[in-house]
Amino acid sequence: MNVSLPDAQEQFVRAQVSNGRYRTASEVVRDGLRMLEEAEHRRLVEKWIFDDLSDEELALLPEELKQRTRAYFQGLIEEAMEDVKAGRVVDGPNALARMGESLRGRKE
């Protein structure tokens, strides 16, 4: 595969090789593509969490990443359920009332 780069990007790649960070221009490009892939995976996971993904988008996520994401949220759910069972929760209106009392106490 041949890739054409604008002058500024070509100079950047050459500088990365000449300063010893990478041995070849191909290594620079591969590392950049890995970073782009990771950023795309993060974007898709965020979209999955907040909106949802199409089947095509879901297929772009590695299975291991989907499993880790599910396990993370399952852990949060289990932790929250333990808090409920242990009575360590307060409903929203009561929590806001307590916060308001606390803030009023600070003013005085």
Confidence label for 106 from pLDDT (cuts 50, 70 and 90): confident
The string of pLDDT tens digits covering residues 65-101 is: 999 999 999 999 999 999 999 998 888 898 899 899 9
- Contacts of 94-103 spanning 24+ positions with Cβ under 8 A: none
| Cα gap 81→88, rounded to integer Å | 10
pTM of the predicted protein model: 0.72
- The pLDDT of 36-63, averaged and rounded, is 97
